[in-house]
Amino acid sequence: MSGQPGGTPAARLRALVVEDEAPLARAIADYLSNDGFDVDIAGDGETAVELVARSRPDVVLLDLMLPGIDGIETCRRIRTFSDAYVVMLTARVGEVDKLVGLSVGADDYVTKPFSPRELLARVRAMLRRPRAGRGEAEPPRRFGDLTIDPGAREVRVGKRVVELTPTEFDLLDALSARPRLAFSRGQLREHVWGSHWYGDDHVVDVHLANLRRKLGDDPKAPRYILTVRTVGYRMGEPG
């Protein structure tokens, strides 16, 4: 692993694999470890929540079907205190299951059986997205009573701080950086997930619906995130 200036080694990324099938969990963990991750394994949701609180992983690979509390509830609990990227691992192929996972704060999903190479590519694509300040301070962006601070990655509606997942913030960041531009779903997908992402554009709609709900934006009469018919989305008027 490359070092930082002065010879200080770069910090290793940490992953948590939450999977009750031990051979599969170990296979995923070995693959991530060989790519430079420090990896923990949990076989149930309760243990996963405790490990996230204790070890603060950068990414959580979370099976949907778990003993005790399932992956949906586990994700919901994790999201109350952690902004780690969450990838749902699911054997279900139904659209409803995928959407429910995203609605409670998952950033992505992978359907079993999956290629470890594909899984690692998607994890790496997410982790390339900035999660802290960008070095150069940017002034806050304002849209009515909505304030977006890109450097602090903080969003407020009035005085209320809005807790967003990393993916939700990245979508809002992309839209608000060029507020007069109407983005297609494909453009937003590429901006946030990268050009090599394997998912479909409908995921963009789900995340934006969650984002609108958190901002208190009525989809029938939106103030902040506007739907542009036949194109996609853009921000409302700055000010």
Q: What is the pLDDT along the chain (239 residues), one digit of tens a residue?
A: 334 444 444 568 999 999 999 999 999 999 999 999 999 999 999 999 999 999 999 999 999 999 999 999 999 999 889 989 999 898 765 655 666 777 788 888 888 888 888 888 888 888 876 554 444 567 899 999 999 998 888 999 999 999 988 889 999 999 999 988 999 998 898 888 776 666 667 788 888 999 999 999 988 888 999 999 889 999 998 86
**Please, what CATH class does the domain formed by 141-235 belong to?**
mainly alpha
Distance (Å) of CA 112 to CA 126, 199, 220, 237: 19, 14, 36, 43
Q: How many CB atoms lie within 10 A of CB 126?
A: 23
Note whether 181 and 165 are within 8 A (CB): no
Give me the sheet containing 59-63, strands edge to edge: 38-42, 14-18, 59-63, 85-90, 108-111
User: Could you tell me where in the chain the CATH 1.10.10.10 domains are found?
Assistant: 141-235
User: Could you tell me where in the chain the CATH 3.40.50.2300 domains are found?
Assistant: 11-127
Q: How far is CA 198 from the centre of its chain?
A: 15
The predicted pLDDT at position 166 comes to 85
The predicted pLDDT at position 152 comes to 86
Residue that the structure tokens 């958190």 belong to: 214
The predicted pLDDT at position 10 comes to 52
Residues in the chain: 239
Q: Report the candidate in 96, 105, 80 with the shortest Cα–Cα distance to residue 88.
A: 105
The predicted pLDDT at position 98 comes to 63
Q: pLDDT tens digit string along 59-106?
A: 999 999 999 999 999 999 998 899 899 998 987 656 556 667 777 888
Select 11-127's CATH number: 3.90.1150.10, 3.40.710.10, 3.40.50.2300, 3.40.50.300.
3.40.50.2300
The predicted pLDDT at position 96 comes to 56
Return d(Cα 100, Cα 102) in angstroms, integer: 5
